[in-house]
Amino acid sequence: MYKSFYSLAKTPFSKEIHPSDAFQSTDYQGALNALKYLQKSKGIGLLIGDPGAGKTFSLRSFKDSLNPSLYHVIYFPLSTGGVMDFYRGLAYELGEQPKFRKVDLFRQIQQGIERMTTERKITPVFILDEMHMAKDAFLQDLALLFNFQMDSINPFILILAGLPHLKTRLTLNHHRPLTQRVIMKYEIQPLSREEVSGYIDHHMKVAGAKMPIFTETAIEAIAQRSQGWPRVINNITISSLLFGSQLKKELIDEEIIRLAVEESGLQ
């Protein structure tokens, strides 16, 4: 396989990359700073970005940075279940035995949050990923569910993450009760041309590469075709490493990138 051909210790451009191995791009740092601000002020925040921009990865890094004896993180990607499962899961995670009806569940969740904050001095952190998939009714429910304060401060952190059209949807009138309470908004931008080069270099080093494998023109081609979105860069580089090793090319040039993109239907 290409790993041995290019003498790599690990699979590069992996989904499982550890937060400590993050590439410190401007917007990765920007997203983390925005999340840190929310950590201090508490309340509701919005993390927006195109597919593969690095939202979930930034959320994972943020989660890792929190002290587990002070914060209890509940991560819920909307793609995995229905909203009732979500409410039940929330109640359960907050230490309650989930009730059946939605009104009862809501009361339980609010009580659970209060108890966690006042009795255990732990701040619950709710991370709702893939929120662009949320139905209107769910967004309206959230406004209700999280509309409570203690001593005039929010006892929780709620992060809504999703594609840019989530932001557009939230500007609609019927979502104002929720949007008015959003105190942090961050939209992750693509990597710049220089950052694409640094990103590829960084991932290859994390994988154990001893010398450059991608030529300058290959990097230029990747930057152009990916428009700077990390997941697209990952896909192009992985398939070009595969092609490169099959063709026994020690260096990957723009011709291999072109082949990889066309043959693997990345474009």
Ligand X SMILES: Nc1ncnc2c1ncn2[C@@H]1O[C@H](COP(=O)(O)OP(=O)(O)O)[C@@H](O)[C@H]1O
Which residues contact ligand X (rule: CB under 6 A)?
15, 17, 22-23, 25, 28, 49, 51-57, 230-231, 234
| Smallest gap from residue 137 Cβ to ligand X (A) | 24
| Smallest gap from residue 147 Cβ to ligand X (A) | 27
28 binds, among Mg ion, ligand X, none (CB under 5 to 8 A by kind): ligand X
| Smallest gap from residue 130 Cβ to Mg ion (A) | 6
DSSP labels, 60-95 = HHHHHHS-TTTEEEEEEEGGGS-HHHHHHHHHHHTT
- 56 is an interface residue for Mg ion by CB under 5 A: yes
Percentages of the chain per state (helix, strand, coil), in multiples of 5: 55, 15, 30
3-state secondary structure of 2: helix
E strands in the chain: 43-49, 71-77, 123-129, 157-162, 182-188
End-to-end CA distance of the chain: 24
DSSP labels, 222-240 = HHHHHTT-HHHHHHHHHHH
231 binds, among ligand X, Mg ion, none (CB under 5 to 8 A by kind): ligand X
| Smallest gap from residue 210 Cβ to ligand X (A) | 20
> CB under 5 A: which stretch of 50-58, 63-71, 141-149, 191-199 binds Mg ion?
50-58
Q: Which is nearer to ligand X, 57 or 243 (CB)?
A: 57
| Smallest gap from residue 105 Cβ to Mg ion (A) | 26
> CB under 5 A: which stretch of 56-64, 104-112, 113-121, 176-184 binds Mg ion?
56-64
Q: Which is nearer to ligand X, 32 or 157 (CB)?
A: 32
* Cα(244)–Cα(251) distance, integer angstroms: 8
Contact set with Mg ion (CB under 5 A)? 55-56
